[in-house]
């Protein structure tokens, strides 16, 4: 049978745990045919990012156009966009109505702490791209940068989801997975949708093998949207997919640093 098609617009992670590699593995695992537009090459492994080589915005658009002109894409995920020019180019494509089921993961920093976005692009995310998304999936740290605030409690995490919702996206997920707002036994994501707020709870899995968690959550959400699921079902499915992948890879040893999850 012909599968649904999703597109990832994201950076390449040479170590295979995050970025387009994680996205394409996630799409495949969920039965969705994956296509990609690469925004940057990274030279990295589980210990850190050694170099970033951004792709010019015109060539990112050329990749997206080539895919969209030919294949029936029903959902799009963005990850590392690297430069302000690429954020602007993707926002322009969204404004032209070319990016259906748009899941925006505002990637700013790698799990190793290395920057993955030009600082001047943060404002463009706020003004141009996030308002046009179907779903945005910042983690607590990214929400802090976007809102210029600090998030220390679940109440503040819920307030951040509301504040980001006021910008215009249909749905916001402020992801926990972080000791500050998670409880000892639960990883708590806060969802804002059309004015109401609720929590998505999963088991807190104690493992250093978490490289690619954010990419995988956003890609699994886009895969479910591509399959025609509604946003609540898509997010619940993505949360389960990530919990299962973290649990499956919790004990393996791949690399010297933060290893990948098992997609
Ligand atoms: N995209 C790329 C290309 C990356 O290298 C990384 C992290 O290293 C990310 C996105 C974000 O990864 P995570 O899913 O761990 O937040």
Which residue range forms the structural domain that includes residue 28? Answer: 5-136+209-249
Please report whether residue 157 resides in a domain. no
CATH number at residue 64: 3.40.1190.20
The 10s digit of each residue's pLDDT in 92-103 is: 999 999 999 999
- Report whether residue 4 contacts ligand 1, using a CB cutoff of 6 Å: no
Predicted confidence band at 180 (pLDDT cuts at 50, 70, 90)?
A: low
Beta bridge partners of 73: 5
| Residue 1 CA, ligand 1 centroid: distance in Å | 32
Apex 213 CA angle, 211 and 217, nearest 5: 155
| Residue 162 CA, ligand 1 centroid: distance in Å | 25
Over 90: is that where the pLDDT of 182 sits? Answer: no
Closest of 94, 69, 67, 96 to residue 8, by C-alpha: 67
Please report whether residue 9 resides in a domain. yes
- List Cα–Cα distances, 36 to 7, 49, 91, 92, 241, in angstroms: 5, 21, 17, 18, 21
| Residue 182 CA, ligand 1 centroid: distance in Å | 21
Q: Tell the residue nearest (CA) to atom 12 of ligand 1.
A: 212
Q: Tell the residue nearest (CA) to atom 10 of ligand 1.
A: 19
Give the whole-number percent of the chain exceeding pLDDT 70: 98
For the chain, the C-alpha Rg in angstroms (whole number) is 17
Please report whether residue 258 resides in a domain. no
Predicted confidence band at 60 (pLDDT cuts at 50, 70, 90)?
A: very high
Residue 124: per-residue pLDDT? 96
Q: Tokens 């179907």: give the residue.
A: 134
Q: Tell the residue nearest (CA) to atom 1 of ligand 1.
A: 19
Please report whether residue 238 resides in a domain. yes
Residue 179: per-residue pLDDT? 64
- 236 alpha carbon, distance to own chain's centre: 15
- The answer to whether 151 and 176 have CB atoms below 8 angstroms apart is no
- Report whether residue 212 contacts ligand 1, using a CB cutoff of 6 Å: yes
Task: Give me the number of domains the chain comprises.
Answer: 1
Predicted confidence band at 241 (pLDDT cuts at 50, 70, 90)?
A: very high
Please report whether residue 127 resides in a domain. yes
Please report whether residue 37 resides in a domain. yes
Beta bridge partners of 191: 173, 198
**Mean pLDDT of all residues in 219-227:** 98
Please report whether residue 39 resides in a domain. yes
Please report whether residue 19 resides in a domain. yes
């Amino acid at each position: 049978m012909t599968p649904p098609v999703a597109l990832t617009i994201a950076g390449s992670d040479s170590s295979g745990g995050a970025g387009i590699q994680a996205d394409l593995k996630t799409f495949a695992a969920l039965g969705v045919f994956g296509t990609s537009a690469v925004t940057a090459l990274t030279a990295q492994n589980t210990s850190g990012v050694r170099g970033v080589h951004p792709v010019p915005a015109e060539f990112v658009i050329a990749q997206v156009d080539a895919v969209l002109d030919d294949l029936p894409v029903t959902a799009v995920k963005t990850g590392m966009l690297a430069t302000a020019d690429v954020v602007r180019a993707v926002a322009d494509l969204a404004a032209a109505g070319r990016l259906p089921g748009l899941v925006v993961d505002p990637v700013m920093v790698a799990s190793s702490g290395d920057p993955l976005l030009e600082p001047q692009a943060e404002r463009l995310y706020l003004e141009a791209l996030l308002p046009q998304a179907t779903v945005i999936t910042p983690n607590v740290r990214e929400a802090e940068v976007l809102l210029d605030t600090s998030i220390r409690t679940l109440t503040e995490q819920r307030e951040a989801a509301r504040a980001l919702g006021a910008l215009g996206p249909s749905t916001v997920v402020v992801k926990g997975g972080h000791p500050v707002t998670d409880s000892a036994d639960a990883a708590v994501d806060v969802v804002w949708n059309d004015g109401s707020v609720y929590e998505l709870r999963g088991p807190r899995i104690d493992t250093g093998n978490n490289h690619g968690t954010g990419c995988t959550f956003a890609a699994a959400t886009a895969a479910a949207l591509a399959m025609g699921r509604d946003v609540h079902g898509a997010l619940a499915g993505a949360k389960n997919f990530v919990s299962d992948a973290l649990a499956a890879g919790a004990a393996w040893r791949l690399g010297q640093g933060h290893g990948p999850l098992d997609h």
